[in-house]
Structure 1
Amino acid sequence: MGIEAWYMDSTDEDPQKPHRLEPNQPVSLDELKKLGVFSVKLNADIYENDPELEQIRKDQGYSYMDIITIRRDTLPDYEAKLKIFYSEHLHLDDEIRYVLDGQAYFDIRDKQDRWIRIWMTKGELITLPAGIYHRFTPDETHFTKAMRLFIGEPVWKAYNRPADEFEIRHKYVASLQGS
């Protein structure tokens, strides 16, 4: 099936709810690509020996990976971490996540600064470009097991909005021109 995306409503209630507009306003994979977001569906049941994942890692230079399980009983300071993940921020490097089990939302901003919610389920790998404002939360199942991939050593630093002074933000915004 692949990821599903839609424009979000503006309510501040529980961030783990879907927050679809009425009527729903879906966002296509092509529209996400224009924002620099790429995704691929893989077989998460064989992630440890998946030749397709190995080829992606080789082609993209993803030399580092780890696995995080986001669930109340496995993630220390669960509530505090969710607040950090859900604060709007950017990174100086691409963010690459592969959902091995469970479900989650990534929210990104479009060119008009509207929120787009991207719902990811098992087997979906996503790349968010460096400089894009985004946030993350598990959905109402409160469970996500994900692989985090990096080029070189992992960089965990997030810069909360506003972070428009970074060169990578300027490059990202410039990449949207004409798309």
Structure 2
Amino acid sequence: MVQAWYMDDSADDPRLPHRAQPDRPVGLEQLRTLGVLYWKLDADKYENDPELEKIRRERNYSWMDVITICKDKLPNYEEKIKMFFEEHLHLDEEIRYILEGSGYFDVRDKEDRWIRISMEKGDMITLPAGIYHRFTLDEKNYVKAMRLFVGEPVWTPYNRPADHFNARAQYVKFLEGTA
């Protein structure tokens, strides 16, 4: 099962866990109130998984690819890692399914505090359009992930501040409705 927690304020290596002290775990219900959805799937059968196909049909995820993030496989690795860790939002959902390795997605809560979500093999997450977030590898420095999209893929990150976008306004309205 996925683990999530509030982060400390340390500027140390982002690949470290950064757990607040005392530890403040975050459960799936709290993530759902932020619009973050989670599934645990069998990554060993991702190519022919009926459960994944059901989710893709229900949520209209029509496009898919696989990305490997490590020094040997990702062109412009250092630049991309820095870009992924810049706080940003997207105008569409971000869907990631971890096939191998591990990493962290950080999302902002309703009070603008960071929550770290530890992602491992078999974890699939959906971040809603308009949520401020970032991604980093953990100390293993390797992840292979499936990226899913509704329609054509759009990877455009809008670094904070990006409050002028309609997707952000709709997300803030969603948060107000879950208060």
TM-score interval (norm. to shorter): over 0.9
- Specify the alignment match of 1:111 in structure 2: 110
Structure 1 segment 1-179 matched on structure 2, within 5 A: 2-179=1-178
Aligned residues: CA RMSD: 0.6
Which consecutive unaligned segments of at least 5 residues does structure 1 have?
none
* Alpha-carbon shift at residue 57 of structure 1 (Å): 0.6
State the Cα deviation string for residues 116-150 of structure 1 (Å, max 9, x = none).
Answer: 00001000100000000000011110000000000
Which runs of 4 or more aligned residues in structure 1 lie more than 6 Å from their structure 2 counterparts after TM superposition? none
* Alpha-carbon shift at residue 21 of structure 1 (Å): 1.1
2-structure distance, mates of 1:163, 1:44: 34
- SS of the aligned residue for 2:111 comes to coil
2-structure distance, mates of 1:173, 1:40: 24
Whichever residue aligns with residue 109 of structure 1, its letter is R
Whichever residue aligns with residue 118 of structure 1, its letter is I
- SS of the aligned residue for 2:117 comes to strand
- SS of the aligned residue for 1:26 comes to coil
Which consecutive unaligned segments of at least 5 residues does structure 2 have?
none
Whichever residue aligns with residue 41 of structure 1, its letter is K
State the Cα deviation string for residues 160-179 of structure 1 (Å, max 9, x = none).
Answer: 00000011101100101142
Whichever residue aligns with residue 38 of structure 1, its letter is L
- SS of the aligned residue for 2:80 comes to helix
* Alpha-carbon shift at residue 36 of structure 1 (Å): 0.2
* Alpha-carbon shift at residue 22 of structure 1 (Å): 1.5
Which TM-score applies when normalising by structure 2? 0.98
- SS of the aligned residue for 1:27 comes to coil
State the Cα deviation string for residues 55-107 of structure 1 (Å, max 9, x = none).
Answer: 11111110000000001111111111000000000000000000000001000
Q: How many residues matched?
A: 178
Whichever residue aligns with residue 170 of structure 1, its letter is A
